Amino acid sequence: MKVIAIIPARSGSKTIPDKNIRMFGDKPLIAHSIRHGIQSKYVNRVIVSTDSEHYAKIAKEYGAETPFLRPPEISGDLSTDLEVFSHALKWLEKNEGYVPEICVHLRPTHPIRNVMDIDKIIEMLLGSPSADSVRSISPAIENPFKMWFMNENTRYLAPVVTCEIPEAYNQPRQRFPIVYSQNACIDVVRSRVILEMNSMSGKNILGYVMGVNFDIDTEDQWRKAEHYYLQNRFDNTDPSASTANQTRTYCFDIDGIIASIVPDLRYDLAVPIQENVRKVNQLYDTGHKIILFTARGSKSGKGWQDTTERQLAEWGVKYHQLIFGKPAADYYIDDKSIDMEEL
């Protein structure tokens, strides 16, 4: 089975100049994706498609092939993945007689991924003859059922998603089905889909759900991804996608992080913040110590322990220790604080 990984890496990034070769951790950004492709047990060749001799030189230094330079007409801001992959496949067939059965799309802007995920996605496609491709996805952060198109002339709104739920945009999110977004981490597609169907996905697309999502397009996303990479000493071959070398202790405030903020200290009305609960549980499951703390009752003197423990059990929050002892205050300053989005 001929399986090729193609890493598109044009040189014209404007948001972060020369993003693809900027140092991320201990190596250029593009080098991480090259390493992922090389470490896959199914990928036979790793090719970088770039329009830059300089980028090509760096890619070769980290083990990739750069048998051609991408033409400038398909290296602009509006150039599509389909143009890039069609060019690569046609060049390889014409100049080498090489025609792979499967293409793996590894974007250089996603430096944190598990090699095991690449192999599992390839296996999904190999095990599903009717599938045209497999695309990695993550639970959507924003809810599309509450999104709108706006007519720029009349200012009237129209829902982005229409479904059988009457006025879905006025309903609680608990009524909606789970929605996923493509996370730009790993796409695997049959070569014939690209060349014969003129598509990067085809019609029958399988989904591979992933928890982490570190696609980099802005400086803020770069900072968060690099912080995660450096703090966790990330090992791309570790199936847990977490700390490979050591466990850590994480302390989480309950209200505002685990649970919603409620008016008038009515903590019994709090509801879980599901995405944050998922992240906490993922840390717990990968061996880290989880400590929860709260100021509940420190201002009023009322005992909230039974209610809090019951809520945590009902919400399925995994933890090792619960501390009641945080002082009531308007602001908290902590030199070790990180944002939940960085976990």
Query: Do residues 115 and 239 touch, judged by C-beta distance below 8 A?
Result: no
Question: Does position 224 have pLDDT exceeding 80, yes or no?
Answer: yes
Indicate whether 134 belongs to any domain.
yes
Do 69 and 107 share a domain, yes or no?
yes
Nearest in space to 49 (alpha carbons), one of 38, 34, 35, 61: 34
Indicate whether 240 belongs to any domain.
no
Check residue 239 and give its pLDDT: 40
For position 104, which CATH number holds? 3.90.550.10
Q: Which domain holds residue 87?
A: 3-139+179-232
Average pLDDT of the residues of the chain: 89
Indicate whether 243 belongs to any domain.
no
250 three-class SS:
strand
Indicate whether 237 belongs to any domain.
no
Indicate whether 72 belongs to any domain.
yes
Do 199 and 332 share a domain, yes or no?
no
Do 145 and 23 share a domain, yes or no?
no
Do 84 and 207 share a domain, yes or no?
yes
Model-level pTM greater than 0.75? no
Check residue 51 and give its pLDDT: 96
Check residue 282 and give its pLDDT: 85
Do 212 and 288 share a domain, yes or no?
no
Determine the number of helices (DSSP H) and then strands (DSSP E) in the chain.
8, 13
For position 278, which CATH number holds? 3.40.50.1000
**H or E segment and range at residue 122:** helix 115-126
Q: How many angstroms separate the Cα of 337 from the Cα of each of 28, 251, 290?
A: 28, 10, 15
Indicate whether 159 belongs to any domain.
yes
Do 161 and 44 share a domain, yes or no?
no
For residue 265, the one-letter residue type is L
Cα 321–Cα 326–Cα 332 angle in degrees, nearest 5: 120
Local confidence band at 243 (pLDDT 50, 70, 90 cut-offs): very low
Do 120 and 227 share a domain, yes or no?
yes
Do 165 and 314 share a domain, yes or no?
no
Provide CB contacts within 8 A for 202, sequence distance 6+.
131, 132, 133, 189, 190, 193
Total domains present in the chain? 3
